Amino acid sequence: MPADRNARVLSGFLDYLKVEKGLAPLTVAAYATDIGQFSAFLQKQKRTLLNARRIDVRDFIQELFANSVDGRSVGRKLSALRHLYRYLLLDKLIEHDPTLNIDSPKQWKVLPKALARDEMEAMLRGPQLVSPNKEAEAIAARDRAMLEVLYAGALRVSEIVGVRLEDLKLDLGYVLVRGKGDKERIVPLGKSAQEALADYMKHARSVLAKERSSPLLFLGRGARKLTRQRIWQMVGAASSSAGRHASPHMLRHSCATHMVENGADLRTVQTILGHSDISTTQVYTHLALDRLKNVYQKHHPRAKAREGIVEF
């Protein structure tokens, strides 16, 4: 059993720390906690401390970051694993150290969270109005258009509140966006976003403007400018239909992730997101690969070998 093997390995290492290294009990207990956590992670992968791979260590660290463990704590856990595998190498219990060439936690970037495609679809469908009136219908049409644009073009909150009427080229299928550093970029709009925008422009915007003028595309009541907080609230409320709370930035990440999953090249995704450096965009490759591995493990009839793991 993996659990028994892990327990024996950990017990031998802790005895080594106490007897050979003479470490204090509190220090040994800290090692036991950190390595025990990695051991529990490996058991879910049907692996042991003795046959752990470099990708297992990386996935463990990524899971820690995803659970909001701070970099200092992650660094301590990685250090404990390095000491363990140095000991196992010296005792010739393993041939390869899986902690070699693992970046320092300071150099890691936390993978952004993204909604699954079915969650995104549920969110965009949105709840039905209980007691609709003209203004409520206008707000619903505006919110639906904003959600479609946030997802279609991977816009930041600051970008969508600043979009002007003159920036929308609906007949050409794109919108001009001003991003960080006031850099302009052209963002394409899919058919769903175009239809939602056309409906908003035809039926809703004038109701919200109430005969007042504004250069902005998306308006609050009385042609007021929408705040970032209001958009966060709107996205949070809309995401309740998807089963979990989402933020505007999650829609941006979802757009990028789903494009990469469907085969989009990183340069195109970089352009749409407005990233100045493609290394920032490359994080989505890892996110899509993780989901690919999970789907493969679940659905391929030959995916579950003896160890229950397929090498990537």
User: Out of 31, 85, 151, 284, which one is annotated catalytic?
Assistant: 284
End-to-end CA separation in angstroms for the chain: 24
Burial (Cβ within 10 Å: 0-12, 13-18, ≥19) of residue 79:
middle
Task: Please confirm, yes or no, whether 54 is among the known catalytic residues.
Answer: no
Amino acid, res. 87: Y
CA distance 70 to 78: 13
User: Out of 8, 180, 225, 286, which one is annotated catalytic?
Assistant: 180
Token look-up 């892990």 returns: 6
DSSP classification of residue 246: -
Residue 187, strand partner residues: 175
User: Out of 83, 142, 258, 275, which one is annotated catalytic?
Assistant: 275
Task: Please confirm, yes or no, whether 151 is among the known catalytic residues.
Answer: no
> Percentages helix, strand, coil for the chain, rounded to the nearest 5?
60, 5, 35
User: Out of 18, 164, 249, 291, which one is annotated catalytic?
Assistant: 249
Task: Please confirm, yes or no, whether 284 is among the known catalytic residues.
Answer: yes
What is the SS3 assignment for 174? Answer: strand
User: Out of 144, 252, 253, 258, which one is annotated catalytic?
Assistant: 252
User: Out of 156, 205, 253, 258, which one is annotated catalytic?
Assistant: 156
DSSP notation for 183-207: -EEEEE--HHHHHHHHHIIIIIHHH
Q: Which residues are catalytic?
A: 156, 180, 249, 252, 275, 284
